[in-house]
Amino acid sequence: MTGAIDILCNLFTEDCIQKNWYGPPEFQYLIKWWHMEDRVKGIEVDTFVSMMDEAGVSKVLIPAVRMMAEQKNRMIWDITEEEVNSVVQQYPDRFVGIAGFNPYTRLEGVRQVEKAVKEWGFRGVYIHTYGFGIPLNHRLYYPLYAKCAELGVPVSMQVGHSAERMPSELGRPMALDDIAIDFPELKIVGAHTGWPWTEEMIALAWKHENVFLGIDAHAPQYLEQTLVNFIKTRGKRKVLWGTNFPAVVHKDAVSYIRGQMGLKDDVAQLILHDNAARVYGLD
Question: Which structural domain, as residue segments, surrounds residue 267?
Answer: 4-280
**The residue count for the chain:** 283
Report CA torsion sign: 103, 108, 110, 116: negative
220, 269, 263: which is closest to 5 by C-alpha?
A: 269
Q: Where are the alpha helices (DSSP H) in the chain?
A: 14-20, 25-33, 45-55, 81-88, 106-120, 142-151, 175-182, 198-207, 225-232, 250-259, 265-269, 275-280
| Under-70 pLDDT residues of the chain | 1
> Rounded distance, CA 225 to CA 17, Å?
33
Q: What does the pLDDT read at residue 13?
A: 97
Q: What does the pLDDT read at residue 1?
A: 66
Q: What is the CATH number of the domain that holds 113?
A: 3.20.20.140
* DSSP per-residue codes, 62-115: EE--EEEETTTTEEEEE--HHHHHHHHTTSTTTEEEEEE--GGGHHHHHHHHHH
Summarised one tens digit per residue, pLDDT across range 234-264 is 999 999 999 999 999 999 999 999 999 999 9
170, 168, 192: which is closest to 244 by C-alpha?
A: 192
Q: What does the pLDDT read at residue 283?
A: 74
Q: Which DSSP category does 273 fall into?
A: I
Domain count of the fold of the chain: 1
> Rounded distance, CA 148 to CA 183, Å?
10
- Angle formed by the axes of helices 198-207 and 225-232, to 10°? 20
The model carries a pTM of: 0.97
Cβ 173 vs Cβ 204: under 8 Å: yes
Q: What does the pLDDT read at residue 239?
A: 99
> Rounded distance, CA 240 to CA 270, Å?
8
